[in-house]
Structure 1
């Protein structure tokens, strides 16, 4: 029997964020068993807490979607850290936790009751015109509404699209079958009067290749978007993004770039929903 937690991430209200399944004490599980359970939960991510193999880390994390393993993802990082601490985990440093995962070491800081992770290094690449045209057509975005595009890779690769209208983003009904063969797509636009008043940007994430057509609230994507937009002067150093509106969620992603270090921090509330034991 293993400890099991299910949490709602990027929300202080249950059922309004992105759910995460966390298996504690996961040593002894095979890759196939981890993948099978992730398919069974059918959540955007299921994670497994393990002892670290790097002496600088407090724990090691493996992250699985229904379709495969990820080297890094944001909402699993925050949710798993919360679960690890709630289960009695003791970090080496009082105000921060160091997570070991596929991209290396990720720092999670305690900011009051909220956790925030340091965005991993981002690789940006230009987008082939043919791929971009196919993606824009598959999501049903009028060409005139596209303001910019680039690949965003921080351990998970997204095609980032900057869109002129938040209302347009919320209204999109993409062809997920076509997108599955093209790219995972993240869209961002400045918030408008029809969106949440406490936010400055609207985000959506289409990820059919992972086995989940739309990821409700996506920390890793928001990290890449923040580094892209802040780096180009298109977003302030501190803002809140809304995500999940089209799915009936109300995710809130808190972004802040540290002026001294340049580190971009991605924070959010975590709400525990289920706690128990698991037999695999």
Structure 2
């Protein structure tokens, strides 16, 4: 298939101020694009994710989404889900079900809706849960350059990208981390710690994803979804809270978490920074 111009947007997610969230590149017409060209564009943009909107196979879905990191394709990611829905709606997309966009992806059907906190997705069912084994926790402690005793809790929170997570005693400890890339290279790792009572944010989060080609991600929706299921489930977090991410990278991402019945929703503001076409 010969290359042609395709509608393209770059959207900043989990921020209402341009260039302070996490950008995602969105190809709004990915139909017929070769998988190798998708991977090549994702490596070229050098963003944590690049997405391609393609026709769905499910009659319930408004579109299907393929998500690529610089290291390859993944089944699901959070900020690309919200950024793509933002770009699709802005480009004139009309959902089949009023008020709810349904995305088909490797994690199944993911609902996206608008709330007071911006667009939000319903957290998908985790692929893996439960505590990490002792060797894994020891590897994480070495990667974070902390004593094993400073990891106060740990859990698999994998909903597609492969996240494992550890909790430290405070947000300040999370922000002070200076990880060792040699030990990080095989870890998809989220780290979370609580802010002091009365703070505008309940938790601070950092995400490290060298296996996906991302040393540290500015704001990570999939990780926040898994963390919320863990922290709310064990009573560490309330049913609704706000968390920050990206401060060490000069970003100010804010993620809103809300529980409705058995569902957890991950929401945030989005703003378009680039709009045009891409040749694919």
Q: Could you state the TM-score of these two structures normalised by the residue count of structure 1?
A: 0.95
- Cα distance change on mapping 1:249 and 1:125 into 2, 3 Å: same
User: 1:200 and 1:126 mapped to 2: Cα distance?
Assistant: 23
Give the superposed CA RMSD: 1.3
Q: Pick which of 132-141 and 215-224 moved more.
A: 132-141
Q: Deviations over 1:139-173 (max 9, x none)?
A: 11232321101111112211110110211110111
Distance in 2 separating the partners of 1:278 and 1:191 = 42
**Structure 2 residue 66 is the aligned partner of structure 1 residue 62:** yes
Q: Tell me which moved more, 150-159 or 241-250.
A: 150-159
Does the Cα contact within 8 Å between 1:177 and 1:208 map onto a contact in 2?
Answer: no
Q: Does 1:98 align with 2:102?
A: yes
Q: Which runs of 5+ in 2 are unaligned?
A: none
Counterpart of 1:128 in structure 2 is 133
Could you list the per-position Cα deviations for residues 227-257 of structure 1 after superposition, in whole angstroms to 9, with x for gaps in the alignment?
A: 0000001100000000001111000000001
Q: Give the Cα separation in 2 of the matches to 1:77 and 1:201.
A: 22
**Alignment partner of 1:208 is 2:210:** yes
Query: Structure 1, unaligned stretches of length 5 or more?
Result: none
Look up the SS of the partner of 2:172 in the other structure.
helix
After the TM superposition, which of the residue ranges 105-114 and 247-256 deviates more from structure 2? Answer: 105-114
Q: Following TM superposition, by how much is the alpha carbon of 1:14 offset from its aligned partner in structure 2, in angstroms?
A: 0.8
Pairing 1:192–2:202 present: no
Kept after mapping to 2: 8 A contact 1:145/1:165 = no
Q: Distance between the aligned counterparts of 1:171 and 1:113, measured in 2?
A: 28
Matched, 1:22 2:26: yes
Offset at residue 113 of structure 1 (A): 7.1
The separation in 2 between residues aligned to 1:38 and 1:192, in whole angstroms, is 38
Counterpart contact for 1:2–1:279, Cα < 8 Å: yes
CA contact (8 A) 1:59 1:99 kept: yes
| SS of 1:214 mapped into structure 2 | strand
Q: TM-score, normalised by structure 2?
A: 0.95
Structure 1's consecutive aligned runs of 4 or more residues displaced over 4 angstroms after TM superposition are none
User: Does 2:164 match 1:159?
Assistant: yes
